[in-house]
Amino acid sequence: MPVYKALDYEEYRIKINDELLFRLITSDETISRLITSNQTLSSAQSNVSYRVYPDGTVDFPFVKNIPVAGLTLNEAAIVVENRFKELIPDAAVKLTLANKNFTVIGEAGTGVYPIFKDKLTLFQALSMSGEISYTGDYKNVRIIRETVNGTEVLEFDIRPLSIINSKYYYIYPNDIIYVQKNPASFYKVNNYSSFISLISSSLSLLFMVIFYFK
């Protein structure tokens, strides 16, 4: 089995088309009301998201064209906060992602699931979708990941202990986990009754062919 190199965890970096949620903290109630009224009447401030444009910038109420692509959320929060402080000296800003989800497809179930904690691991992600089926190929698991440099496809064997803390171990927002079907799964059966059913079906087909060609 392969041996994977351990790497330090890297924080998620904001990408084009990400949706950001922000919270402005200030003692100036007038500004807070203005920002809230600038958003949809049916949504609270914390539920309104702001898209990162193709040029890597984002617009928030009263501050525009803030470059955030390629920054971590903490780094971006500082940049946004400094822009707000030009208008509100005591401004403090909290940022998070609205699109904190990952997708599982293939032989481990299919679905879109939330990233509910920092440093969500591959095994935790797969457990949310259900166990890998008996037809799944443990040796050929892929993660399709959008990075600041484009789409990256990571292919790995899930079985080695060294996968822990490797570059395959943590799941990031918008990751797609694909568990490939084992080419040998055609010959697999998951229980005795399935085996009997497979044999019976094969014999029935054989007798039909013999009868047809008589």
Beta-carbon-side half-sphere exposure of residue 136 (alpha carbons within 13 Å): 22
79: pLDDT strictly greater than 50: yes
Residues 6+ apart with CB under 8 A from 66: 57, 58, 59, 60, 79, 80, 83
Question: What token pair was written down for 108?
Answer: 């481990």
203: pLDDT strictly greater than 70: no
Give the number of other Cβ atoms within 10 Å of residue 75's Cβ: 15
Q: How many residues does the chain have?
A: 214
Give the number of other Cβ atoms within 10 Å of residue 31's Cβ: 17
How many angstroms separate the CA atoms of 156 and 19, rounded?
30
Mean pLDDT of 80-95: 93
One CATH from 3.10.560.10, 3.40.50.11810, 2.115.10.20, 1.10.3720.10 for 101-187: 3.10.560.10
Strand 92-97 to 111-114 pairing: unpaired
Is 1 strand, coil or helix? coil
How many angstroms separate the CA atoms of 96 and 143, rounded?
23
Question: What token pair was written down for 4?
Answer: 């994977």
Tell me if 19-97 shares its fold with 101-187. Answer: no
- Let me know: does 190 contact 154? Beta carbons within 8 Å: no
Instruction: Note the pLDDT tens digit of each residue in 39-60.
Output: 544 344 447 899 999 999 999 9
How many angstroms separate the CA atoms of 214 and 208, rounded?
10
Highest-pLDDT range among 166-170, 180-184, 198-202: 166-170
Annotated domain spans of the chain: 19-97, 101-187
160: pLDDT strictly greater than 60: yes
Residues 6+ apart with CB under 8 A from 44: 36
How many angstroms separate the CA atoms of 162 and 159, rounded?
9
Q: Does the 19-97 domain belong in CATH 3.30.1950.10?
A: yes
172: pLDDT strictly greater than 80: yes
